[in-house]
Amino acid sequence: MSDSPLLRVSNLTVALHLEGGTSLPVRDVSFDVGASETVGLVGESGCGKSMTALSILRLIPKPPAEIVAGSVNLSDVDLLKLDSNGIRRVRGNRVAMIFQEPMTSLNPVYSCGEQIAEVLRLHSGLDRRRAWARAVEMLDRVQIPNAAERAREYPHQLSGGMRQRVMIAMAIACNPEVLIADEPTTALDVTIQREILALLDELQAQLGMGILHITHDLAVVSESAHRIVVMYAGQVVEEASVDQLFSAAAHPYSLGLLASRPELGARRSRLPVIEGRVPEPSQEVEGCRFRERCPFAVDRCTEEPPLLEVSNGHRARCWEFERVQREGEWPRVQ
């Protein structure tokens, strides 16, 4: 954990009020993002990672969702306590966000340049001409060739990779302190994915922004992040540096995720499998939420483990983390 984090999410809990009752898709989630730091928020669908990200900027639909506990501190301000004007001044300005599918987040009836210029007029108070000039500059910065001409083009005229660059240009236009990137490369081809990841690294080095990179892909964060937060069924189950997680995972779920991934060049006849399925957010589990799928489970697991300190900067929500690390391998059934 960094000394003075830019963004500190503490004990965030989100409730979802639906007809069938209330569930908790995000449960007591805490993590920090420091300046020039990339934190990978990893988990499978439904684990609460996107809900967490959206809650930071209070973008979750309310109702049905409601932030019931916790705080989100950006430097010294609690974003959850701001009024609607206050949070609007933060969004896209101090904290920006990019999404998986740039086509649906860009407005099809405005040119790319206009959309970026709008952000600048809104937050930086630039006039039309200066905002346009700066928009072109931003497109150039995200390495879009012929930026001045491309600025006049509409989203549908661009490829997926180019659209994501436009999204990034829009996101960094106001020089944000924190960039939240929700599956920014999932919809892209691998060669384009690599370019976008490199671009984010480069922009981070120039601007010093903290990046929260949300993804389901462990390999992607292993290349892009400094630290990783693994989520399972609404909870943080492990937090570690990239090195710690990939060389000495301490939570069985992290180990299982790593094992079940068909890694290039490591061909096995059968992939190890995490049996069963994720509990529903509404489902209350006695003790550890991973217990029923966990090959390491012991009697004590009916008591819910807190995040336990594994080593410096490495925490895991597992009573048996020492044994998990010692064995270091997902046990094979059959």
Partner 1 sequence: MSSDRPDRNAPLLQVRGLKKVYAPTSGFFSRKSTPVVAVDGVDLDVAPGETLGLVGESGCGKTTTGRCILRLIEPTAGSITFDGVDVRALGSRDLRAFRRRMQIVFQDPYGSLNPRLTVGSALHEPLAVHKIGDPSDRPDRVAELLRKVGLPTDYTHRYPHELSGGQRQRVGIARALAVGPRFIVADEPVSALDVSIQAQVLNLLNDLQEALGLSYLFIAHDLGVVEHVSHRIAVMYEGKIVETGPTEQVVGDPRHAYTRALLAAVPRIRTGGRPKPVSGDSANR
List the interface residues with partner 1, window 145-184 (CB under 8 A): 160, 175, 177
Considering the complex, what minimum distance in angstroms separates the CB of residue 67 from partner 1? 26
Nearest distance from residue 231's CB to partner 1, in Å? 13
Report yes or no: 298 and 318 within 8 Å, Cβ to Cβ. no
The answer to whether residue 260 forms part of the interface with partner 1 (CB under 8 A) is yes
2 lies in the binding site for partner 1 (CB under 8 A): yes
Would you state the structure tokens that stand for residue 107, as one six-digit string?
A: 């407005």
- Token reading at 167: 């999204």
Residues 120 and 131: beta-carbon distance below 8 Å: yes
295 binds partner 1 (CB under 8 A): no
Q: Which of residues 228-257 bind partner 1 (CB under 8 A)?
A: 241-243, 246-247, 256-257
What's the chain's Rg over C-alpha atoms? 21
Burial class (CB in 10 A: 0-12, 13-18, 19+), 10: middle
Q: Is 264 in the site for partner 1 (CB under 8 A)?
A: yes
In this structure, what token pair is assigned to residue 58?
């209070």
**Looking at 10, 59, 140, 272, which residue binds partner 1 (CB under 8 A)?**
272
Strand ranges, E, within 217-323: 227-232, 235-241, 308-311, 314-316
Q: Is 327 exposed, middle or buried (0-12, 13-18, 19+ CB in 10 A)?
A: middle
Residues 180-199 that bind partner 1 (CB under 8 A): 189-191, 193-194, 197
Site for partner 1 in 198-227 (CB under 8 A): 207-209, 216-220, 222-226
CB atoms within 10 A of CB 46: 18
Question: Whole-number minimum distance, CB 307 to partner 1, in Å?
Answer: 20
29 vs 6: CA distance, rounded Å: 17
Q: Could you say whether residue 267 binds partner 1 (CB under 8 A)?
A: yes
CB of 204 to partner 1, least distance (A): 8
Q: Which residues bind partner 1 (CB under 8 A)?
A: 2-3, 34-38, 44-45, 160, 175, 177, 189-191, 193-194, 197, 207-209, 216-220, 222-226, 241-243, 246-247, 256-258, 260-265, 267-274, 277
